[in-house]
Structure 1
């Protein structure tokens, strides 16, 4: 966050720049840009975190740069690479979040002092991917799937999102829980629940996939995926391929010696059901010449 000052002539702060947010352990720069005038030159520039001074630059002294410890040591200053109003923070901890103030003061006789502030936000990212729990080894069709997604120990808590077969879960299926804070660390664990029926359409092209993503601003994004296996005696789905199955339909007619002249207007239309018997069983394909009756039977079998 940056603050600009367009004050009158004299010693003044033109801009204070503090990046926000920053990640725990990252390095970054604090910048305080000031302007002098012929009547006022700078005596000292100081940086404060809250009420604690941690950096001072006095050009008339040797050494010109001094640093001071802050309670809890929330940030480590790179003294050798800091100069004037530009301060290099080598490493930052969660406790470094807060209001930062740059203050400039002029030489005698005016001793004019001016200051400007900016806010630093610090985020602590999760140490692992989101975890999906509560999933059964296998499901029956229409059985309720109950799952939780957990993103442990971060600040702020991660934003969680559920996807089913890469489509966002219906909001009515979600169960929202407040984040759980963990002791003195200030870190929080995020959790999101999901309850939905395993409808046949969700497994029409194979096992359904459940994904959970965790995000914190633009600094963090991770995901986890689990497969929802089915354990049912009959799982079926309809596949329509007009061009590829025409020859098969004709072969079936020739083999059975059947000619459906009454339905000649539907010649070349066909379909077939792929029937899967049990988990991981072989596929058995029954080809049908699609009359309205046969097609209706196929749909009825596959949609149940």
Structure 2
């Protein structure tokens, strides 16, 4: 047992000695998890090096090199190489901080930073970035048969359509802030939008026989909620059908959009867009 313990401590000492004597180290690579199409993106390669110890620093996307820094190369210390979806802003970039201009869907992929010492020690770390496009406004609710007055016993038939996005939005129905069971969905589909085929429109249909339980204090509130789970984004639009014994009128209601940071350091965007809410006389 004594010999085993001695060998263990010797091995541990050699490992620590190598770490302490290493001329360079790569602490972290920071890449945005999600970016909106058309935005700029900043990539960070956090490394430490002793003076004159760095031989090269390289950036790759999906194993294709797009940036190189070689401090010993007097004629051309920094270089960028053509890769689809990558435009390096050389004027705003430095070895440890790369700025990509106007990312697009082809910019999605795995980004890797590789550093090499003059002793040819190589360290690398990588992260993934996905480029997305959010809908420009809330989903739209339309009636299948044009009816905007409902009472107990009527068949409620509605369509909901999302704005183009990537990834596609997930749609769901709510009545009086309660989820509608799937058996009342007459269709739930995603359609390719545009010639490029990189945006998607989601459509969902609702068909349900109205009962007294659907009316709370003379009010039926139907909402279509669109979610893009990748970035915790959600928008909703709702129609309110309310009992009004004197007249029929329209109300314009709006709410502010705001950002909430959660413990996972991702952002949840909840945006409620101004929507026309129809107030319609009901017989109950």
- Quick check: 1:46–1:55 contact (8 Å CA) kept in 2? yes
- Quick check: 2:133–2:165 contact (8 Å CA) kept in 1? yes
Structure showing greater radius of gyration is 1
Aligned residue-pair number: 226
State the TM-score, normalizing by the size of structure 1. 0.64
Map 1:80-119 → 2, pairs under 5 A: 80-107=91-118, 110-119=119-128
Find 1:130's aligned residue among 129, 132, 139.
139
- What is aligned with 2:260? none
- What is aligned with 1:226? 239
Deviations, residues 79-116 of structure 1 (Å, cap 9, x unaligned): 22211221122321111111111122223xx3333332
Find 1:20's aligned residue among 5, 21, 33.
33
Note closer, same or farther for the CA distance 1:65–1:146 as it changes in structure 2 (3 Å cut). Answer: same
Shift of 1:144: 1.6
Find 1:155's aligned residue among 151, 166, 174.
166
1:198 aligns with 2:210: yes
Shift of 1:219: 5.6
1:56 aligns with 2:65: no
Deviations, residues 11-63 of structure 1 (Å, cap 9, x unaligned): 3422111110221122231111223357x811221111123322222223355
- What is aligned with 2:5? none
- Quick check: 1:139–1:229 contact (8 Å CA) kept in 2? no
- What is aligned with 1:177? 188
Structural RMSD (CA):
3.1
State the TM-score, normalizing by the size of structure 2. 0.68
Distance, in Å, in 2 between the alignment partners of 1:208 and 1:175 is 20
Shift of 1:130: 0.7
Distance, in Å, in 1 between the alignment partners of 2:106 and 2:81 is 16
Runs of 5+ consecutive residues of structure 2 not aligned to the other structure: 1-15, 244-279
Runs of 5+ consecutive residues of structure 1 not aligned to the other structure: 1-5, 231-278, 282-301
- Quick check: 1:77–1:89 contact (8 Å CA) kept in 2? yes
